[in-house]
Amino acid sequence: MDTFSRWSHLFLVFVLAGRNDLFAAASDVLDLGDSDFEYTAAEQETMLVEFFAPWCGHCQKLAPEYETAATKLKGTVSLAKVDCTVNSETCGRYGVNGYPTLKIFRNGEDSAAYDGPRSADGIVSFMKKQAGPSSVPLHTEEALNNFVNNFEASVVGFFSSGDSPQLAEFLKASSSMRDSYRFGHTTDLGLGLSHGVESESVLLFRPPRLSSKFEESVAKFGEDVSTAALRQFIKDNVFGLCPHLTPENRENLRGLDLLTAYFNVDYHRNIKGTNYWRNRVMKVASQFQSRGLSYAVANRAEFQDELEEEFSVGADGGELPIISIRTTNGHKYIMQEEFTRDGKSLEKFLEDYFAGKLKRHVKSEAVPESNSGPVKVVVADNFEEIVNDVTKDVLVEFYAPWCGHCKSLEPKYIELGEKLSADPNVVLAKMDATANDVPLPYDVQGFPTIYFAPAGLKDQPRRYEGGREVNDFINFLKKEATHPLVLGTAKEDL
């Protein structure tokens, strides 16, 4: 290589190195370690820290969301990260034993574990509530209007003075609930006159984007302020008749029998178009209030995987809303008819639901034509017939085809089935829990999960927690079976 080429090569190396430094500097996530964590954290009023390992899959998935959130929160809340594979002292000091671990620090002190959403928007929303005071002081009407004109609901306390005992209770409540809700307060009762405030009170302002003629946009708290009472009031009123269901708030709505309308919900760029369909849902929903069913709208794209998994609804569904109902007892229904603009199809769907006329939607593989093997194949459509046969004790394995532990268990499970094939009172069964709906009260969170459903007690199945060798299962059944086991042709005594 001649002199010119060598200098050109070195120049290119320096340029690329400089570009890499620029790229690294462009990150809005603080990269901290053992040498600088303590003094940097002490300089931050509020800081979210991710303790991670580079090889961690969940950390890799979180990384771009975390980066985006850091950029959006720049100037409000700092986001930092610590690589625990090279900064063991810091990670050990804060008890990190899994990845990613996220913690909220205030002025250098470990304040709380972060248990909020893992999406960029979710992190931003959660951490904005952590910045500054738990309740924002509001001194002017303009400040009040700006505060309640937000994408989320706002809880505002109106008090007569800074010495008000009710204000003290309000601030205590806001501190305990700042992770979940936005709080503001004023000591000028006059700011609430336009909202009907005449004495000390608390108002909940629903987001302006969800304003509708079918319900009031403001709910009034009518009791003396206490954390418990205010928490219940917010829980009962924050969502209103038909909230916007998102990945971030879905856990708050999970304990409800819920009808959801999935369509192109976009409250950032198309509020009018979104509320066109929402208002049609609300018009029908208002006719069925106090019937024990809640309602919501959701962006179909955000829940597409779930729709495909649970209802086999493809991505190409047009502009009309897809309507589903999920109940707390695990039942699911989907509206087969097209959503009509006059709401008549939704009205008929709800009438049939409340009359008990709807057929439940059950995800199920086809019932096997032949099912005479030592292990019975169970699908959702024959679960009742096989597992809930009140005359039989049933040991049922819930598995996933890709599960390595399930594959290791399979030959032992078949051997067990062969040993029990002569017993008329015991059934060995298995179900692919990824291809079939698992009914309640069975709770399958990992694979394999094994339950014993005794004869006559099908509403009380018991999770099997023993060993997974053939003799372990046999010893368990000897103790738990309703009748003495029959192994091969020999009858076993209890």
In tens, the pLDDT along 290-308 reads 899 999 999 999 999 888 8
Examine residue 396 and state whether it is found in any structural domain, yes or no.
Answer: yes
Q: Check residues 14 and 167 and name the one with the higher pLDDT.
A: 167
- Give the catalytic positions in this structure: 56, 59, 403, 406
Terminal C-alpha separation, the chain: 87
Contact call for residues 225 and 170 (beta carbons, < 8 A): yes
Rounded to an integer, the average pLDDT of 40-61 is 93
Task: Name the domain count of the chain.
Answer: 4
Rounded to an integer, the average pLDDT of 354-371 is 92
Residue 41 clears pLDDT 50, i.e. is over it: yes
Rounded to an integer, the average pLDDT of 208-233 is 94
Residue 20 clears pLDDT 70, i.e. is over it: no
Rounded to an integer, the average pLDDT of 123-146 is 91
The CA distance from 127 to 73, in Å, is: 8
The mean-pLDDT minimum among 39-53, 177-191, 300-314, 441-455 falls in 300-314
Q: Where are the beta strands (DSSP E) in 306-421?
A: 322-326, 332-334, 376-378, 393-399
- Residues 255, 325 within the same domain: yes
Taking alpha carbons only, the member of 281, 272, 357, 275 closest to residue 323 is: 281
pLDDT band at 317 (very low <50, low <70, confident <90, very high): low
Average pLDDT of the residues of the chain: 90
Q: Of 101, 129, 157, which marks where a domain is finished?
A: 129
The CA distance from 428 to 89, in Å, is: 51
Element (H, E) at 89: helix 88-93
The CA distance from 113 to 104, in Å, is: 6
Examine residue 105 and state whether it is found in any structural domain, yes or no.
Answer: yes
- Residues 189, 116 within the same domain: no
- Residues 103, 138 within the same domain: no
Rounded to an integer, the average pLDDT of 41-53 is 94
Range of the domain at 152: 133-237
User: How far is the CA of 492 from the CAs of 50, 374, 395, in angstroms?
Assistant: 57, 19, 18
Rounded to an integer, the average pLDDT of 414-435 is 95
Q: What is the pLDDT of residue 69?
A: 95
Cis bond upstream, residue 448 (ω within 30): yes
Taking alpha carbons only, the member of 184, 276, 174 closest to residue 227 is: 174
pTM of full prediction above 0.85: no
Q: What is the pLDDT of residue 287?
A: 94
The CA distance from 134 to 152, in Å, is: 15
Residue 337 clears pLDDT 60, i.e. is over it: yes
Instruction: Cite the DSSP H helix spans in 112-155.
Output: 120-130, 141-148
- Residues 232, 254 within the same domain: no
Taking alpha carbons only, the member of 388, 409, 391 closest to residue 400 is: 409
Examine residue 11 and state whether it is found in any structural domain, yes or no.
Answer: no
CATH number of the domain encompassing residue 38: 3.40.30.10
